[in-house]
Amino acid sequence: MEQRHHLHSDLGPPPRLSIPRRAGFSSRVALSHAIRTTTGQPCDATLNSMRVARLPFCIAVVVIFSVRSLAQNTNSDVPPVIDVHVHAMDDAGPLAAPMCPNTPKFTASDPDTKEAPFGWVQEECTPKLYPAAKGEYIKDVIAEMQRLNVTAVVFGDPASVQKWKDAAPDRVIPGTGFEKGMAAGRVPLDDLRTAFKNGGFKVMGEIGLQYEGLSPSDPSVDQYFALAEELDIPAAIHMGTGGSGRANVIMPKFRGSKGDPLLLEDLLARHPKLRLQVMHAGYPMIDNMLTLLQANSHVYVDVAGLIWSYPLKEVNRYIERLVEAGFEDRVMFGTDQLVWPKLMAYSISIIQNADYLTPEQKRDILYNNAARFLRLDTKKPN
Ligand SMILES: [Zn+2]
């Protein structure tokens, strides 16, 4: 299924993306990256010219290739990773383009000029991340998951998620939500109950109410969270990131204020046993995120999307803040995997190269915390 995006008329008709309608709304962030085409340079040349702040990028690349050679030789020795935030896309999409992760700047523009539909600066980088070839996306990502020893929570409508489950039964934890897409209504409550009770679905998400301008505590969706609490299914809610600099143009209902982590307080008060995954860790509202974490010990966060979208120094500072504040046991790794199969390896490398994390903290973020949250395993694997 496709999503239509209301893009600036300078680009002609809206692009058609092969993103499942119920895929997470953070896929819009990915679209912004997909449109930022770039030209590459050899890594060495870039290292010579790049600012200090960009250095970790090439270091990360070295680690990616190290992981690859390790995986090819001793796959069973690669420590396990859980990615708690993957979308059940079945194709990279016809407009998918190479992408530079960790874009360093947003554009400063004037509405009196021809503004681009996305507000990121277009800057060169190397290596870029490349989209999967047509029809190869699921196969390529599953191959990466096997190489990197990743198990993933894959979100989407039931039929889309089933494709992933069929492709990798032992590596896919199925997730589905109650939204049918922008302004397309809700999934009937009984359908969702059936999906969780009989369909093998383990997580409710990605819930993207922020893109509808709704608070997660809005009474109109309370029945779904009541169901999650009743069935003891964790709920994964998009909080924080989004807009991509052009919210006013391409997603007029999006409200940054509806991503405030403290908007979850009423929901948690109504449903005290609800297990909650705050997707994107409420970025960039760190103070309110910490306030919520301090008050609710079974609230976890994932760092998906933000880990490869925003300026790298800022990403590391945000994760460091979560850990330094005492929440190293509740930060979970995630990618928001879309379009580019190597995005998963790239994102893992950000954690692996974080010099502010101990080896134990890296393992907790990459595996142990999610295993505990999802109740996959009660003992640490290493
Ligand atoms: Zn999201």
Cα 281 to ligand 1 centre (Å)? 10
Cα 279 to ligand 1 centre (Å)? 6
- 177 forms beta bridges with none
The string of pLDDT tens digits covering residues 116-164 is: 878 888 888 888 999 999 999 999 999 999 999 999 999 999 999 999 9
The string of pLDDT tens digits covering residues 45-101 is: 222 222 222 222 223 333 333 333 333 444 568 999 999 999 999 999 888 999 999
Does 173 have pLDDT greater than 80? yes
Does 381 have pLDDT greater than 90? no
Cα 238 to ligand 1 centre (Å)? 4
Give me the pLDDT at residue 180, please. Answer: 87
13 by Cβ neighbours in 10 Å (0-12 / 13-18 / 19+) ranks as exposed
Alpha-carbon gap, residue 305 to 247, rounded angstroms = 17
Cα 242 to ligand 1 centre (Å)? 8
Least confident span in 95-104, 218-227, 272-281, 298-307: 95-104
Supply the mean pLDDT for the chain: 81
Strand bridging mode 16-17 / 3-4? antiparallel
Cα 269 to ligand 1 centre (Å)? 23
185 by Cβ neighbours in 10 Å (0-12 / 13-18 / 19+) ranks as exposed
The candidate with the shortest Cα–Cα distance to 240, out of 213, 267, 279, is 279
Contact call for residues 367 and 83 (beta carbons, < 8 A): no
365 CB-side CA count, 13 A: 31
- Structural domains of the chain ordered from first start: 3-39+74-373 (3.20.20.140)
pLDDT grade for 251, boundaries at 50, 70 and 90: confident
Cα 49 to ligand 1 centre (Å)? 34
Cα 304 to ligand 1 centre (Å)? 8
Give me the pLDDT at residue 30, please. Answer: 41
Give me the pLDDT at residue 377, please. Answer: 66
The string of pLDDT tens digits covering residues 16-32 is: 222 322 233 344 444 43
Give me the pLDDT at residue 325, please. Answer: 98
Cα 46 to ligand 1 centre (Å)? 31
pTM beyond 0.85: no
